[in-house]
Each structure stands twice: as structure tokens, then as C-alpha cells.
Structure 1
Amino acid sequence: MLLRFLLRRLLYVVPMVLVTTLVVFSLILLIPGNPALALLGENATEEKIAQLNHQLGLDQPIYVQYADWLVRALHGDLGRSLFTGEIVSSAIGTRVGVTLQLVVFAMLIAILVGMFFAIISVIRPNSWLDYIARLIAMLGTAVPNFWLAMLLVFLFSVKMKWLPATGFVSITENPGKFLENAVMPAISLGAFGAAQITRQLRSSLLEVLDADYIRTAYAKGLGLWGVIWKHGLRNSFVPVVTTIGLLFGSLLGATVVVETLFAIPGMGQLAVSSILQRDFPMLQGVVLVMVILVLAINFITDVIYAIVDPRIEY
């Protein structure tokens, strides 16, 4: 049954990728500005602009351009940058690892912090610990990540000079430098996720800990921490898995702002520069990779459901 469900979900991925990329491809082409004009300069003649548009295929209908791009993409050819001439797949390949490292680090912070505050809140409901945990969760939801990023830079880079304000070092090159450079961007990204996980897990834990089998566990002599770890978290983590899966896509989108603020050479920064330069092939490649990453995470989330709770019926 589980295998049939997973195969069906894999089949859903194909039309989802096609529809999503078609919509995004069409919207990208509607961005104000002409790549040919950006390449040739404002003094270019209409004849030269029309000639370059023809060479780039930008004078074709959108469905023709999309079909041509899709066929080449299926063969691994995402084209070349209109401005640098760099192969799009190579440019994305050098940057996708940077973005994934940052997003995974941010997700780890969000999960650990969210679980910590949710458990503390549940242990003493309606106490000052509970109020502090809920206040932090509310602030994490309300504070924009770009404002939090600027605040962290001001405090830890400008005032205290503890951490570098910009730059990035891969964890495979130097784990210590990676933590030093990535901790502020990861906190900026993960604060919203930590707030969401805190609220979701707290609500779910309170509901689970009020069940009859929890009272039976107490009656058998199991302590509070034993009940939480053995019964509470396992049975309340299914909705949290959904939250984590959705957060991954949100964090990928948020890297556009955070990577730009911290000058991190990831896909978010690449997307921003592509938009500003009207570099359509590069932007289309970035969007395609991000869509595939989000769909892959959604598929993995479905698999985790069965691991967390085998009773789920598909």
C-alpha cells in the first residue's frame, strides 16, 4: 500500500513540474524590460534590438519558447547566461550547495529551538515559562527576516565584532569558518520556522498529553520526561512534519533576501542578479531547480509520515 502511494506521488510530480515551470516561465517573460536592450544599451537602434531578439528567440510566442526550453532542459541543457555567457547548469551547480547548506542549517536551528520552547511550554502550561515561549514564538512570526538580519549584523559584527558581516565558507572546506559565517544568516532564516514549530508542536503536545493512554502511562509509574519522549513527541510530531516540509520551501524563497544581505554566493543571490539584468535563461534555470527541490522535499515528507506513525493509511 505504501509503495503504491509513493509511486502515485511520483507520477504526480511530473505534471506538477510541467504546470509550475510553464506558469513561472510565462511570468518571467512578462517582467518589464528587454534583455536585448539591456545587452545593447539605451542607444541601440530598433533594428539591432529586433535582430538580437530574433537571435535569442525572444520574438517567438511564449509557448514556442517554453517548448524549446523544456526540450533542452530534459537533455540537461538550461542554456547560457545572456550577459556572462556562462553555462546555466554550471552556475547553478556551484551555488546550489551553498544555498542547501544554509537552508539545512537554518532548518536545524528552527527544529531544535522550536522543540525546546514547545516542550518547556508544555511542562509548565500557563506559567511564566509558557508565556515567554509564546512571546518568542509570536516575535519570530512577526519580525521580518531582513530586519532581524540587519539587527544581528549591527550587534555582532558592527558593535561587538564577533562575527563577519558578509561572506561564506563551505562546511566541507572549514567547518569552523562555516559556522562563523553562516550562524547569523541561518538564525535570520530559521527564526520564523522556530516560531511555527513552537506553536504547532505546543498545540499538538497539549492535545496528546491529555489523552487517556498518557494517564495510563503515568499510572504505570512513567515520569514526565519519559511520557513526553516516549509517547508525547512521537504521537504529536506528524503535523510538525508537515510544517517542516512547508518551511523548507519558505526558507528557499527567503534566501533571496538573506543571501543578498550577507553577500552569500547562493541561488538566492543568483536569482536577484538575474532579475536585475533581465537574464531570463539564468532565472528560469534557478526557478526550475528550486521547484524540483521543493517537490523532492514534499515527497520525502510523505515518506517520513510512515516512519513517524505507521498507523497512517494511504
Structure 2
Amino acid sequence: MARYITMRLLSVVPILFLVSIFTFALITFVPGDKALAIAGVTASPEDIARIRTQYHLDQPVYVQYWYWLEGVLHFDLGDSRYNGQSVAGQIETRLPVTLSLVILASVIALAFGVVLGLIAGIRRRRAVDNVTNIASGVLLALPSFVVALVLLLVLGVRLGWLPILGYTNFADSPWDWLQHMIMPALALAGHIGAIVYRQLRASVGDTLGARFVTAAWARGGSPRGVVGKHVLRNASGPALTSFGVQIAYVIGGTVIVEQIFSVPGMGPYLLAAIKGNDLPVIQGGILTFVLCQAVFAMLVDITHGFLNPKLRVAS
């Protein structure tokens, strides 16, 4: 298992390297004088000269990339062009908020997707199967921001069950934190939960007819033992793989959902940077999101390896 984890860790390195090249190349897409575009049209000649020196724009591209990469490896992502604050410092403050939202949404998606997928896979063409199929189809068709607006209108405005806007730190009050985060998490969990449900439903239906499941029943296995140990464990592979791929959807969806619910995470910070052409913040945000996606995907791969010994042997 240690070798399998090592291989997964090493596979992330080239991905991050390619992403770093793409992220750095964003500065080459800036039209005209790059130092003037970064400093702003109202900047003085001294400010433009300082920006040109700070970003090494007077040197070859590969030298610029090396200096930039060296800064990234030392957690120096530059300063915001608007408020002059450290980008790394702002990300350090806002990233835990976004990660907590992603984790809560993932837990909700897995809980509902696995439970309903298992029930629907066992009870094919029953009432619960038909209802969950329709519900999953609706969730797959609706973007997360549309679900967020519906939840905001129904649970927040009409029923008044949950607070509409704002955020409370988990350390200050876990209950208040959950009340503020449950609607954004549900908005993000709908799409990925529907995918997990459909994948697991199909896999459970196929696994129930396998010979090893029939043999388990013949040996007098209990329903809980056969379904939990044999059916669910062997059918969870495709669903878990789809979950790992869809984590990128959840992380990307936080940008809009956090803005809707006024959650002070990476979303509002990155949207403001895009509107204001704040290149250091955009670069830092892209790197952070890709790194989070790579880490989550790696954790899913490792979990898949625990569940499926064939993957460990193949690696």
C-alpha cells in the first residue's frame, strides 16, 4: 500500500508543473505593456518601473518563470495590485472557509448518493427507484447557482429556517457555522450527489448478479453482511471514481455559490480579482484551486486502492 500511495503522490508532480506553466503564461496574455497593465493606467513612471523590476519583465521569459516559480515554492504569490496585501496571506485566511464548504458538500453528496444509490440498486423499478431517478435527473440539469437561488428563496426567505447571508467561524460556534453553511453545501452537493447515486445504482444492480454474491448468499450470509461487505465494496469503484472527477465541479462551484451567500471564502476574492484584472490574485487563486483538486483526487485514489486490492497490485 505504501508503494501505491507513493505512486499517487508522484503522479501529482507533473500535473502541478504543467499548471504552473499555464498559470505563469497568464501574464503573457496581457495586451500592451505588461508592467503598465499590472500597475494600472493611472500609475506613475516610477510605479511602472518598480513593477517591471518586481516581476522581472525586463528579462527573458524563462528567467521570469524561474523567479516566479521560486516565489511560489516559498509561498510568495506577490501582492494585490489594489490593496497591496499579500496574496498568500489572503489565501491563507480565506482557503479554510472554502475547504470547509467543499468538505461539507462532499460529505452530504456521498451520504445521500451512497444511501439512495444502494437502496435504488437493490429495489429496481420500485417507487423509491422511480422518485430518486427523477430527482437525480433534475439535479444534474440544474447548475449549482440555480439550486442555490432556489434554496435561498425557499428555506431562507419563505420559510425562514436558515440564515440567508453571512458566516460564523466554526471555532466560535459550530452550530451557527452549520446553519450558515448548510444551504451553500446543499447547492454544491446536488450535482455530485446525483452522479454518485446513478453510478452506484447501476453498479449495485450489476454486482447483485455476480457469482461471488450468489455464493455469499448460499453460504448463509446475512443481508447486512452480503450487501455491505460484498456488494457495496465491489460496486463502489465507479461511483468513487466519478466522485473524484466531480470534486473539480464542487471546488469551481464555490466561486459563485460563496458570492450568492456572502461566504468570505476564495470565491468573492477571486471574482473581485477577475473584475479588477488583479493578476497576482488570479494566478494565486488558480494555483490554489488546482492544488486542492489534485489533493482531493489523490485522496480518492488512495481510498479506492484500499477498497480494491487489484489497483494496489497493478501499481
TM-score of the superposition, structure 1-length normalised? 0.90
After superposition, the C-alpha distances for 1:208-264 in whole angstroms (9 at most, x for unaligned) are 111112122222333444421121111111222212222222211111111111111
Q: Secondary structure at the match of 2:309?
A: coil
Matches within 5 A, 1:252-271: 252-271=251-270
Corresponding position of 1:214:
213
Deviating more after overlay: 8-17 vs 280-289: 8-17
User: Identity of counterpart residues, as a percentage?
Assistant: 32
Aligned residues: 311
Q: Secondary structure at the match of 1:6?
A: helix
Q: Partner amino acid for 1:81?
A: S
Unaligned runs of 5+ in 1: none
Whole-Å Cα distance in 2 between the matches of residues 87 and 13 of structure 1?
Answer: 27
After superposition, the C-alpha distances for 1:110-132 in whole angstroms (9 at most, x for unaligned) are 00111122122122211221111
| Matched-pair contact (CA < 8 Å) for 1:114–1:197 | yes
Q: Does 1:82 align with 2:81?
A: yes
Q: Partner amino acid for 1:79?
A: G
Whole-Å Cα distance in 1 between the matches of residues 35 and 252 of structure 2?
Answer: 24
Whole-Å Cα distance in 1 between the matches of residues 228 and 181 of structure 2?
Answer: 31
Corresponding position of 2:166:
167
Q: Does 1:54 align with 2:52?
A: yes
Deviating more after overlay: 246-255 vs 224-233: 224-233
| Matched-pair contact (CA < 8 Å) for 2:95–2:266 | yes
Corresponding position of 2:176:
177
Deviating more after overlay: 238-247 vs 263-272: 238-247
Whole-Å Cα distance in 2 between the matches of residues 38 and 177 of structure 1?
Answer: 40
TM-score of the superposition, structure 2-length normalised? 0.89
After superposition, the C-alpha distances for 1:70-101 in whole angstroms (9 at most, x for unaligned) are 11111222211111111111100101100010
| Matched-pair contact (CA < 8 Å) for 1:167–1:263 | yes
Deviating more after overlay: 197-206 vs 128-137: 128-137
Corresponding position of 1:65:
64
Whole-Å Cα distance in 1 between the matches of residues 206 and 18 of structure 2?
Answer: 39
Corresponding position of 1:148:
147
Deviating more after overlay: 192-201 vs 236-245: 236-245
| Matched-pair contact (CA < 8 Å) for 2:36–2:43 | no
Closer, same or farther: CA 221–8 of 1 in aligned 2, 3 Å: closer
Corresponding position of 2:106:
107
| Matched-pair contact (CA < 8 Å) for 1:120–1:133 | no
| Matched-pair contact (CA < 8 Å) for 2:188–2:253 | yes
Q: Does 1:125 align with 2:124?
A: yes
Whole-Å Cα distance in 1 between the matches of residues 216 and 106 of structure 2?
Answer: 32
Q: Secondary structure at the match of 2:165?
A: coil
Whole-Å Cα distance in 2 between the matches of residues 130 and 13 of structure 1?
Answer: 38
Whole-Å Cα distance in 1 between the matches of residues 69 and 39 of structure 2?
Answer: 24
Whole-Å Cα distance in 2 between the matches of residues 234 and 11 of structure 1?
Answer: 27
Closer, same or farther: CA 137–28 of 1 in aligned 2, 3 Å: farther
Corresponding position of 1:138:
137
Deviating more after overlay: 205-214 vs 284-293: 284-293
Whole-Å Cα distance in 1 between the matches of residues 290 and 7 of structure 2?
Answer: 19
Whole-Å Cα distance in 2 between the matches of residues 261 and 53 of structure 1?
Answer: 34
Whole-Å Cα distance in 2 between the matches of residues 32 and 181 of structure 1?
Answer: 41
Corresponding position of 2:192:
193
Whole-Å Cα distance in 1 between the matches of residues 209 and 275 of structure 2?
Answer: 54
Closer, same or farther: CA 38–20 of 1 in aligned 2, 3 Å: closer
Whole-Å Cα distance in 1 between the matches of residues 219 and 7 of structure 2?
Answer: 43
Whole-Å Cα distance in 1 between the matches of residues 296 and 93 of structure 2?
Answer: 21
Aligned-residue RMSD, C-alpha: 2.4
Corresponding position of 1:95:
94
| Matched-pair contact (CA < 8 Å) for 2:77–2:88 | yes
- State the Cα distance separating 1:39 from its structure 2 match: 5.5
Whole-Å Cα distance in 2 between the matches of residues 132 and 95 of structure 1?
Answer: 39
Corresponding position of 2:229:
230
Closer, same or farther: CA 121–8 of 1 in aligned 2, 3 Å: closer
